[in-house]
């Protein structure tokens, strides 16, 4: 009998190695389900009021990271993003913002959420007073996430691991 991969022993060995590799990949994926990561704003930063431009969110300090391969990537245009192993994730975005306390104006704020360089959500929020959270959960599938913000006025994002953060939870 002729085996194109060499001897019958080599063919059997390659088949076993392939199965072992597949088993390891599956185990890694199974062991990642339910793992979490949190990135937060280590220092306060300002999202400038603009006429249509979205600003990057400086939320890149690691509070914890139990998902191998999830990382924050700082971009030169301040449109920072996150990369992670291909999969489905629950992402919780929480931004604790300080609007000037003296103002009584309602402020509109929008988040642009992009996965693998495609916009998937653009939720709007209204802030009426100082120190309010903007919270948005979203389920994403892919390997790259970018979250940017638009604001009609300059607002301060408060630094705190429990107030201004982006959480990831691996779902598959």
Q: What is the pLDDT of residue 42?
A: 93
pLDDT of 40 > 90? The answer is: yes
Residue 100 — pLDDT band, cuts 50, 70, 90? low
> pTM for the whole thing?
0.78
Note the pLDDT tens digit of each residue in 71-81: 999 988 778 99
- As a whole-number percent, the residues of the chain with pLDDT over 70 amount to 77
CATH architecture of the domain with range 35-170: Sandwich (2.60)
What is the DSSP annotation of the chain? ---TTSSHHHHHHHHHHHHHHHHHHHHHHHHHTT-EEEEE-SS-EEE---SS--EE----EEEEE-STT-EEE--TTS--EEEEEEEEEEEEEEEEEE--TT----EEEEEEEEETTEEEE--EEEE-SSSEEEEEEEEEEEEEEEEEEEESS-EEEPP-TTTSEEEEEE--
Note the pLDDT tens digit of each residue in 112-171: 999 999 999 999 998 777 788 899 999 999 999 999 999 888 888 999 889 999 999 999
Closest Cα partner for 105 from 54, 49, 145?
Answer: 49
Note the pLDDT tens digit of each residue in 8-32: 665 555 666 676 666 665 555 556 6
Burial 141-166 (b: 16+ CB within 10 A, else e): ebebbbbbbbbebebbbbbeeebbbb
Q: In the chain, what are the domain boundaries? A: 1-32, 35-170
């Amino acid at each position: 009998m002729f085996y194109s991969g060499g001897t019958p022993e080599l063919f059997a060995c390659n088949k076993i190695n392939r199965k072992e590799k597949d088993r390891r990949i599956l185990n890694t994926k199974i062991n990642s389900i339910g793992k979490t990561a949190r990135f937060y704003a280590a220092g306060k930063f300002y999202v400038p009021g603009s006429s249509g431009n979205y600003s990057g969110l400086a939320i890149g300090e690691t509070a914890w990271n139990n998902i191998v391969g999830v990382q924050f990537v700082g971009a030169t245009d301040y449109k920072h993003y996150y990369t992670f192993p291909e999969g489905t994730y629950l992402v919780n975005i929480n931004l604790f913002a300080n609007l000037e306390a003296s103002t009584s104006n309602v402020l509109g704020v929008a988040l642009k959420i992009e996965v693998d360089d495609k916009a998937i959500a653009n939720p709007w929020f209204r802030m009426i007073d100082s120190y309010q959270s903007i919270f948005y959960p979203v389920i994403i599938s892919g390997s790259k996430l970018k979250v940017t913000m638009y604001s009609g006025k300059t607002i301060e994002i408060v630094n705190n691991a429990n107030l201004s953060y982006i959480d990831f939870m691996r779902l598959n």
